[in-house]
């Protein structure tokens, strides 16, 4: 099974690119989803 290349970008203001995910967005914190934005 192959895959198609895409220009999709997923971003979040909750943390920096390459940074650590804040604990509130993990199972060790309040386990809520970070705000996400995507574009194609």
pLDDT of residue 24: 92
pLDDT of residue 31: 86
All structural domains of the chain with their residue ranges? 9-39
Q: Per-residue DSSP letters for 1-40?
A: --------EEE-SSS-TTSPPPGGGSTTTT-PPPP-EEE-
Cα–Cα distances (Å) from 16 to 1, 6, 20, 27, 30, in that order, read 33, 22, 8, 19, 20
> What residue has token string 């967005």?
25
pLDDT of residue 35: 95
pTM of the model as a whole: 0.58
pLDDT of residue 3: 82
pLDDT in tens, the chain (40 residues): 788 888 989 899 998 889 998 999 998 989 899 999 999 8
pLDDT of residue 37: 95
């Amino acid at each position: 099974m192959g895959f198609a290349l895409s220009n999709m970008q997923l971003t979040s203001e909750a943390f920096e690119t390459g940074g650590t995910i804040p604990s509130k967005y993990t199972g060790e914190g309040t386990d809520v989803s970070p705000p996400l934005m995507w574009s194609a």
